[in-house]
Amino acid sequence: MYLVTKWFGVFLCDEKGVKKKILFPKDEKEISKRLIEIDKNKVLSEEKKIIKNVKEQLVVNEKRLHRYGVYKPNDPFFIEFDIEPRDFGFSENLLHKAAKVVAEEKTLEELKSKDLQIIQMVNALDDLIQVSNLLSERLERWKSISASKKKIQPLENVFSMVDSSIKYFEKQIEDDMRDIAPNLTNIVGPLIGARLIAFAGGLKKLSSLPASTIQVLGAEKALFRYKKEGGKPPKHGVIFQHPYINTAPRKFRGKIARAMSSKISIAVKADVFTKRDIFKELKLVLDEKVKNIKNL
């Protein structure tokens, strides 16, 4: 017996056809509610109900349902046997409407997610830092030829505003980073951590990257040039900003970058998957490693 869930209902079937069914209400809100549950990996109440008192072994094609039957995603039954919504009085126009509700809700939720906000904040921060540098240079030059207070005041105002925005974003990024990625934050600091997330395109994406890619994140142009034209591979991207690397003698930098990125990779995986704090041990190991490299 096969357990099949479609957007319009749940079905128990065998080779001959549908044996038992529970249809969903013909309402886009009700349908979208169930599609969202499914998306969140939950088991629907209709699914629990339909399999009650079923003695036979069930086959399912979603991991979500693996507790209720054997998981066989490639069983030809699922491809050959189509359950048509129209046969049960559902028009696909209803699916169009329900899918839109689901996509809208999920989109909103994902756009709100903290890592995407952090990416925007850290990019804004880097813009502000650039502006601040420009303004401070201008102010200095102006003052060197002695400026009239009245004329220079507006620029001073903007400069101090930019500076307070910088402080604001630094604080906000640090708070959010400690919240979503405590291990990463403790290994490389909130700002480098945030820039790594930005270059990867999200925390989850960062967690799926190999250490060798993390090592050169932010140096994409250099990496591309190397792969196409050969020469020296770039040794480090954003993580070069870390004092471990940029205060080390040049000849050690590549090795330290490699050690760091491997620890970063472990830290981010813990932040995303196990959610356990492992940074104390990681940091000890990393510090030891850096010391050894320098003493070589």
> Which residue from 49, 76, 61 is spatially nearest to 6, judged by alpha carbons?
61
Of the CA atoms within 13 Å of residue 215, those in its CB half-sphere come to 20
120 binds other proteins (CB under 8 A): no
Q: At what angle do helices 250-269 and 279-295 cross, to 10 degrees?
A: 160
Of residues 14, 30, 39, 175, which one binds other proteins by CB under 8 A?
A: 39
138 binds other proteins (CB under 8 A): no
Q: Where are the alpha helices (DSSP H) in 114-188?
A: 114-144, 149-180, 182-188
CA 122 to chain centre: 15
The region of 75-83, 135-143, 249-257, 270-278 touching other proteins under the rule CB under 8 A is 75-83
> Which residue from 108, 116, 110 is spatially nearest to 203, judged by alpha carbons?
116
Ranges within 7-26 binding other proteins (CB under 8 A):
7
Cα–Cα distance measured from residue 248 to residue 236, given in angstroms and rounded to the nearest whole number: 13
Please return the burial class of 266, using the count of CB atoms within 10 Å of its CB with bins 0-12, 13-18 and 19+: buried
Ranges within 87-116 binding other proteins (CB under 8 A):
92-93, 95-96, 99-100, 102-104, 106-107, 110-111, 116
Of residues 22, 83, 211, 285, which one binds other proteins by CB under 8 A?
A: 83
Of residues 35, 209, 268, 278, which one binds other proteins by CB under 8 A?
A: 35
Smallest distance from other proteins to CB 211, Å: 17
Smallest distance from other proteins to CB 78, Å: 8
Q: Which residues bind other proteins (CB under 8 A)?
A: 5-7, 35, 38-39, 61-63, 73-74, 78-79, 82-83, 92-93, 95-96, 99-100, 102-104, 106-107, 110-111, 116, 224, 227-228
